Structure 1
Amino acid sequence: MKGLSIIFLVLYFFLVSFFIDDTIAADDQTKINNGVYIVYMGAAASSIVYNHAQLLDSLLKRKENALVHTYKNGFSGFAARVSAEEALELSKKPGVVSVFPDPLLKLHTTRSWDFLKYQTDLLIDSNPHSNSDPQESDAIIGILDTGIWPESESFNDKNMGPIPTRWKGSCMKGSDDSSSFNCNRKIIGAKFYNDDDDLTAKYHTNSPRDMIGHGTHVAATAAGSVVQNASYYGLAMGSAKGGSPGSRIAMYRVCSPDGCRGSNILAAFDDAIADGVDILSLSLGAGSGFSPELSSDPIAIGAFHAVEQGITVVCSAGNDGPGSETVVNDAPWLLTVAASTIDRDFHSLVMVGDGRVFKVKFFFLVKFSVSKICKVMNFDALTFQGEAINFSTLKKSPVHPLINGKSAKKRDANEDEASRCDPESLDESLIKGAIVVCHKDNEFSTDELKEQMQELGAIGVVVGNDKQGAVAFNYGAFPVTVISSKDEAEILAYINSTRNPVATILPTDAVTPYMPAPVIAYFSSRGPSNSRNILKPDITAPGVNILAAWMGNDTQEALQGKDPPLFNVISGTSMSCPHVSGIAANIKQQNPSWSPSAIRSAIMTTATQINNKKAAITADSGSIATSYDFGAGEISPTAPLQPGLVYETDTIDYLNFLCYSGYNIPKIKVIATTIPTNFTCPKESSIELISNINYPSISISGFNGSRTVTRTATNVAGDDESSYVVSTDAPEGINVKVIPGKLQFSKNGQKLSYQVTFSSTVSLLKEDLFGSITWSNGKYKVRIPFVVSSSTSNKGSDN
């Protein structure tokens, strides 16, 4: 995307309903889900009760083939194009667990990896990290996305060994490619999943080739080979690489510009399980307002089966922040990733003012910082820091006419609409040839604003907006920059102080090292999760202004007279997710026997909570970030390789989670592959008991004065004997007592449990309280965050 614009503009599609609303007619339901329903039949078995095609034939009287996908590896079922009435009949057939509409989900570097390493080195007392070379990794990262551009230099296979023999996948070349699609020892597998409906058929390539760019960018971030002198037209120059350059990539193209079909996602999960991937990376999901129940969530269902097979599934948290309760992909078997900045910022400066008279007037009209007063007294042009990517060719000195959108309104137009630069409210004759100052709300994107001002003849746009934060949108050659509302007020005061205001917008410059960093991105979705008793997101990673490989034929992104870019700078939790996927692959390579939950625990317990100013990480607003913003903190690229202890969450934990969430055994069978024959839901199955599953964080809702939870830690340090002592960081209003206060391990792999009792020191909690529990043996520090809330769980199942 351009900044966030690829996700929010090119791929801005709302999630369709996951449920059949009784108020919607059958014909309308068919339109919503493209006429496709997912028929889920539970665990895969060597002998399936029904052949999928035969089951359909027994129901359908029409002759055309209705079967879209068949699922037979990690789980059983199929997707078919049927009517709502036929879907209802299918749901009654023996062996069918559930039938639900096919949902449409949406897609949610030269420096980011160096920044993460610097952040780890900044912590003097951080965990020791492995000296193993990630180039030696042979892990396989499966990516569900928009496809991949195999000719990118980021996917060269120089010095890579043979393809791992455990790989069982294939490389689908396709039939309508402009050039042949070839896999190699880096891209070892590629598959595509197409729909044949009229809405999306025009975007299909019948190939795994990426025609959007998103999947290529994600794959390169996770496992791209090292590429020297990479940049976006000279901007952000450096060596581009993925988090696990030695890992292999398997691409599953499940998305088109319309979004990502749930039936395709389930098909890709099914294939990936059989193919032999180690990690699955999904930079996609529902919108926060459309988050489905687990029993009809294709990501949650597919991931449960994958995790049971030992595959770590990493998902983006969503781009619906900064509001609370917006996090998606929050099932406890997923590793959910928020987005944060790195220590590089893209500045496009605005210079205003020309001459002694204008500046003296301006001096008396506006309150100045010391630096701006000095600039005025020295009669230099005033400079304001803007955020953007543009390649402005305006003059370097402020000589271009500057106008406030409000001052350019038509005679009968609304002033507020004109100040926002609504094109219908502006007088084109006043806009033409000028730089326009616009106050942006969120009714339309800055990219749309740019196009509208270009059509009116403006030569540049200065946008006042506090919500865009550190995200640099890409405006190509047209001069656009985004400033704070405070600076906007000063520029407007300057305009009002003189008869002929002038300005210029300078081309973007990459500023490093930028402080503070990391900062939680304004767009990153926040907790609490749907179940307040599981803390989500789990972790944060770089997701703002990330440079990585791009498709090689994107003429729309190309500057005039230039070839299409080979790299692009974009933002989103889509970009933070593959950072974690790459690190997870390195952990798996070094610790091949570790379970997905052990990998997740290692990542979470070794995270950092300080920025490059050695202060607490903040949100974009400047407030101290909490676990609802970043989970356990910012990921470390090396510390998780040797975490000391891990918290393993097993299948019984996940089944109990479903029980505690209100699901009965028949409903649990919708999600789980296999349930132990003797498993029953605990007699006490309240939502509050979710806090007790063995997760590497603690979240307590409905707190009424006292609560005790249990955690079990596993020694993975390899030491025969090791003693860990506990320390707690508790906020005012809560006492935290850990029993025992010392864990004495005698061998590697040993598990020891402890209890944590939270008690209130106040009569009523007025807000959610955050803290942490840390076990240390002098070599390793193993930290888990906690949150205590008097609020109840957001939602549970009614089944």
Structure 2
Amino acid sequence: MKFLLSNIVALLLVFYLLSLASGKEEKKKDVYIVYMGAAAPASSPETLTQTHLQLLTSVIKRHEHPKLIQSYKHGFSGFAVKLSKDEALAMSRKKGVISVFVDPIYHLHTTRSWDFLQLQNSIETSSPSKSIKAEATSSSIGGEDTIIGLLDTGIWPELPSFSDKGMGPLKRKGWKGTCVNASDFNSSNCNMKLIGARAYSTDDSSLPYSFTDADSPRDDDGHGTHTASTAAGAAVSNASYYGVAAGTAKGGSPTSRIAMYKVCGLFGCSGSSILAAFDDAIADGVDVLSISLGASSVFSNPDFDKDPIAIGSFHAVEKNVIVVCSAGNDGPLPESVVNAAPWILTVAATTIDRKFESDIVLGRNKHVIKGQAINFSTLRKSPTFSLIYGRSAKSKSRSSTDQSASHCKLESLDKKKIKGKIIVCKNSDDDDTSNSIIVDQLKGSGVIGVILVKDQQKSIASTYLDFPVTEILLQAADELFTYINSTEKPVTTILPTVAVTKYKPAPQIAYFSSRGPSSQTKNILKPDIAAPGVDILAGWPMTLSSDVPPGKKPSGFNLLSGTSMACPHVAGVAANIKSWNLAWSPAAIRSAIMTTAILMNNNKTQLMTDSGSVATPYDFGAGEVNPTAALQPGLIYDATPKDYLLFLCNYGYDKAKIKLISASIPVGFKCPKNSSKDLISGMNYPSIAVSNLQGQEKRTVSRTLTNVGGKEVITYIVSVQSPVEVEVKVVPEKLQFTKKNKKLNYDVTFSVKDFSKKSDLFGWITWSDDKHRVRTPYVLSRK
């Protein structure tokens, strides 16, 4: 189904491009976003819309009637409109315009979690110091008046995950959101849990498709329903994926409220809709924004003033809204992380301690080989089915080769030899044909089961529904092939999937999770934090039944993987922190999450990737999120809007542009004369990244810590973990907080002795009292 859909999308795009080629270039118009920065405090929405129309009429021909596709007039100023290239260029030269860019199309970052995170809280988070636990005992504490907004594909409101049972009215004043009425959605679909639902459309007649249903926030994809229930879904007992992964499904902040902003449809998420949703969410009064979508790192990342997510999140943070975004699914390539602006909390994906096993049973001695997949096999559990290796079933065709047959390319196989048997196929990441296509072709040829031999096990368990398929690693395949080669009539069976919990080691960094450093901001470490994002069970629309096993009813839950799934985990944690600390800034909440992160797996060893290599802060940022400890961080690294303005100065924006971007520029603010990207390292961030550092060179950065613990008079002592290639000196080594001195500074001087063996060096700076451990990762690079 997904393969067919992708072909339809490709054909539509081809027709669209052909239609453009056949038309006259001078008449071609695209949707452009005109970004004008902060909305003037005294300007009403109506006044801003008129300003946008007047600006538009100044660049288009007189006989044309301008029409705004979107007008941004609450959290910031700007609009989306169809323009020619010449008109867009003319618009970019107008006074008050910061940037003009073609409306980009972004994509969703999808490819037991909360219980696992709770268990991880008891694991030592740093050696050799003893484990320090927060006094809080639940990741779901608080959140009753906290509102989580999601920019996604919509929501399926009837699911039990969105029940408001036991919830009272919103006590806090100031919520201005709404539930729109549509043909399949109205205000009665909302309740005390789902308090807002909006939808957006590109309304672009030049495209052969619409990116979203123009009027309905109902989810026709499933992604938004899944992320919303992960972030703030109510607890639902007896949840499972057709009997697999059974347990209680719940969100990270089950007492928080949800507001859904549908910006994505079947073909992606338009930048103009994303900005419209940001604009509304800021005005509505959300506390947290969870955004599981973004640009692709395959193409060059847009600059911060041309990236709808960076633009919208900047203005949201100015209004005290914390923005949590997925890091992207282009891993394990380096420099693949997206959503890397320093005002965004960027989330990588990890595994949990649950594995979906579908084992193989061999021969009369019933030897078991462990496999991984999700299938609801109805084969007998006794090994009585004939087993054949693909290469042994090679056809006599001249085009057939040992390699193509061993990889079970259908045109290379003798169908008579494989019919009614379980076939073994080699499969590698380099294969052009996907597993699902190979399996479907074999199933259609009479095969009764498939064993895929992988050269590298992926953390995601592939789903094959009722057809018996499992995947094993090359090491396990040695046993399998030894049995096949030593037996005249090998037999086997494939067992249905069982969920194995307390699997070790976990967490591991998922192979697909995008990696740092950021190509835009190497002096800010990205991603910031990691969270569960592999095979996450959460709510699913009941009508999306293409993946329902035969004879089963839709379950209302699905297993999905991606940094899309990791993002709402952190959004839920942020909402809980916010509910207990209403005055905290987004930077303070980010700091609480990052400095309390976990660096060990459930084997009490350092975090690894799912390929077996040692993970680094480029993979996980500060570590795996710790929902309980984050509620009591002890100290925080705070930041104000001025810090982000200085970042923009050092990044290369001039004061005139920054003055247009921000609504909170202090009187007399000036960019430093020596502004440079190297100075970004000095931003008061919960991690430290220093680039362009040469051997034997010393570099000093400063940080400010604020005491938010229970004791006003307290002393913290520093400890440093560093590789042998670098010397780290922290001054002072003690921070003595008092009632009058709640904020204290410290300097860190890095001196690299040798960069010859490694281009990047990692370490940690930790401040500890008798209860808290406040950890800051650092990375030093010579590029």
User: What TM-score, normalized to structure 1?
Assistant: 0.89
The residue identity in structure 1 corresponding to 2:646 is: N
Deviations 1:560-588 (A, max 9, x none): 12211211111111111101000000000
Q: 1:610-625 alignment to 2 at 5 Å?
A: 610-625=600-615
Q: State whether structure 2 residue 159 is matched by structure 1 residue 152.
A: yes
Q: 1:97-112 alignment to 2 at 5 Å?
A: 97-108=98-109, 111-112=112-113
Q: What is the rounded CA distance, in whole Å, between the counterparts of 1:684 and 1:26 in structure 2?
A: 50
1:472 maps to which residue?
Answer: 461
2:16 maps to which residue?
Answer: none
More displaced stretch, 341-350 vs 759-768: 759-768
**Retained in 2: the 8 A contact 1:462–1:480?**
yes
> 1:674 Cα deviation (Å)?
4.5
> 1:763 Cα deviation (Å)?
6.4
> 1:295 Cα deviation (Å)?
1.9
Q: What is the rounded CA distance, in whole Å, between the counterparts of 1:440 and 1:285 in structure 2?
A: 30
Q: Residues 784 and 27 from structure 1, CA distance in 2 versus in 1: closer, same or farther, beyond 3 angstroms?
A: farther
Q: What is the rounded CA distance, in whole Å, between the counterparts of 1:285 and 1:444 in structure 2?
A: 27
2:75 maps to which residue?
Answer: 74
Q: State whether structure 2 residue 498 is matched by structure 1 residue 509.
A: yes
1:214 maps to which residue?
Answer: 223
The residue identity in structure 2 corresponding to 1:155 is: F
> 1:748 Cα deviation (Å)?
7.5
Q: What is the rounded CA distance, in whole Å, between the counterparts of 1:460 and 1:29 in structure 2?
A: 57
**Retained in 2: the 8 A contact 1:181–1:209?**
no
The residue identity in structure 2 corresponding to 1:384 is: I
Q: Residues 148 and 351 from structure 1, CA distance in 2 versus in 1: closer, same or farther, beyond 3 angstroms?
A: same
Q: State whether structure 2 residue 122 is matched by structure 1 residue 114.
A: no
Q: 1:573-612 alignment to 2 at 5 Å?
A: 573-612=563-602
Query: Which of 229, 252, 270 is residue 261 of structure 2 equivalent to?
Result: 252
The residue identity in structure 2 corresponding to 1:733 is: E
> 1:539 Cα deviation (Å)?
0.7
Deviations 1:130-181 (A, max 9, x none): 358625532000001111110000100011110242211100131255x986
Q: What is the rounded CA distance, in whole Å, between the counterparts of 1:673 and 1:327 in structure 2?
A: 28
Query: Which of 36, 39, 51 is residue 41 of structure 1 equivalent to?
Result: 36
Q: What is the rounded CA distance, in whole Å, between the counterparts of 1:240 and 1:537 in structure 2?
A: 27
Q: What is the rounded CA distance, in whole Å, between the counterparts of 1:181 and 1:207 in structure 2?
A: 14
> 1:330 Cα deviation (Å)?
0.9
1:137 maps to which residue?
Answer: 144
Q: What is the rounded CA distance, in whole Å, between the counterparts of 1:9 and 1:512 in structure 2?
A: 35
The residue identity in structure 2 corresponding to 1:143 is: L
Q: What is the rounded CA distance, in whole Å, between the counterparts of 1:749 and 1:151 in structure 2?
A: 51
Q: Residues 445 and 135 from structure 1, CA distance in 2 versus in 1: closer, same or farther, beyond 3 angstroms?
A: farther
Q: What is the rounded CA distance, in whole Å, between the counterparts of 1:267 and 1:483 in structure 2?
A: 46
Q: State whether structure 2 residue 683 is matched by structure 1 residue 693.
A: yes
**Retained in 1: the 8 A contact 2:505–2:603?**
yes
> 1:284 Cα deviation (Å)?
0.7
The residue identity in structure 2 corresponding to 1:140 is: I
Query: Which of 348, 353, 373 is residue 358 of structure 2 equivalent to?
Result: 348
Q: Residues 12 and 247 from structure 1, CA distance in 2 versus in 1: closer, same or farther, beyond 3 angstroms?
A: farther
| Number of equivalences | 748
The residue identity in structure 2 corresponding to 1:781 is: R
2:234 maps to which residue?
Answer: 225
**Retained in 2: the 8 A contact 1:129–1:640?**
no
1:640 maps to which residue?
Answer: 630
1:395 maps to which residue?
Answer: 380
Provide the alpha-carbon RMSD of the alignment. 2.7
Q: What is the rounded CA distance, in whole Å, between the counterparts of 1:9 and 1:501 in structure 2?
A: 39
**SS of residue matched to 1:160:** coil
Q: What is the rounded CA distance, in whole Å, between the counterparts of 2:279 and 2:556 in structure 1?
A: 32
2:406 maps to which residue?
Answer: 419
> 1:779 Cα deviation (Å)?
1.6
Q: State whether structure 2 residue 712 is matched by structure 1 residue 726.
A: no
2:180 maps to which residue?
Answer: 172
**SS of residue matched to 2:442:** helix
The residue identity in structure 2 corresponding to 1:51 is: T
Deviations 1:692-742 (A, max 9, x none): 111001111111221111011011114221111111111111111100111
**Retained in 2: the 8 A contact 1:464–1:482?**
yes
Q: What is the rounded CA distance, in whole Å, between the counterparts of 1:475 and 1:141 in structure 2?
A: 34
1:796 maps to which residue?
Answer: none
**Retained in 1: the 8 A contact 2:457–2:473?**
no
Q: Residues 203 and 478 from structure 1, CA distance in 2 versus in 1: closer, same or farther, beyond 3 angstroms?
A: farther
Q: What is the rounded CA distance, in whole Å, between the counterparts of 2:755 and 2:211 in structure 1?
A: 62
1:276 maps to which residue?
Answer: 285
Q: Residues 425 and 101 from structure 1, CA distance in 2 versus in 1: closer, same or farther, beyond 3 angstroms?
A: farther
Q: What is the rounded CA distance, in whole Å, between the counterparts of 2:471 and 2:226 in structure 1?
A: 25
1:330 maps to which residue?
Answer: 340
Unpaired segments ≥5 residues, structure 1: 17-23, 356-379, 793-799
Q: What is the rounded CA distance, in whole Å, between the counterparts of 2:27 and 2:244 in structure 1?
A: 47
Q: 1:652-667 alignment to 2 at 5 Å?
A: 652-667=642-657
More displaced stretch, 160-169 vs 536-545: 160-169
1:235 maps to which residue?
Answer: 244
Query: Which of 763, 767, 770 is residue 775 of structure 1 equivalent to?
Result: 767
Q: What is the rounded CA distance, in whole Å, between the counterparts of 2:90 and 2:598 in structure 1?
A: 53
Deviations 1:28-57 (A, max 9, x none): 8999xx921101111112335753234334
Percent of aligned pairs sharing the same letter: 55
Q: Residues 79 and 487 from structure 1, CA distance in 2 versus in 1: closer, same or farther, beyond 3 angstroms?
A: same
**SS of residue matched to 1:288:** coil
Q: What is the rounded CA distance, in whole Å, between the counterparts of 2:104 and 2:595 in structure 1?
A: 34
More displaced stretch, 662-671 vs 146-155: 662-671
1:527 maps to which residue?
Answer: 516
The residue identity in structure 2 corresponding to 1:86 is: E
Deviations 1:111-142 (A, max 9, x none): 11111111102336224233586255320000
> 1:406 Cα deviation (Å)?
3.1
2:329 maps to which residue?
Answer: 319
Q: Residues 424 and 218 from structure 1, CA distance in 2 versus in 1: closer, same or farther, beyond 3 angstroms?
A: same
Q: State whether structure 2 residue 719 is matched by structure 1 residue 711.
A: no
Unpaired segments ≥5 residues, structure 2: 14-20, 125-129
More displaced stretch, 116-125 vs 696-705: 116-125
More displaced stretch, 514-523 vs 666-675: 666-675
Q: What is the rounded CA distance, in whole Å, between the counterparts of 2:566 and 2:740 in structure 1?
A: 33
Q: What is the rounded CA distance, in whole Å, between the counterparts of 2:681 and 2:699 in structure 1?
A: 10
Q: 1:560-571 alignment to 2 at 5 Å?
A: 560-571=550-561
Query: Which of 286, 302, 313 is residue 292 of structure 1 equivalent to?
Result: 302
Q: Residues 670 and 495 from structure 1, CA distance in 2 versus in 1: closer, same or farther, beyond 3 angstroms?
A: farther
More displaced stretch, 332-341 vs 524-533: 524-533
1:650 maps to which residue?
Answer: 640
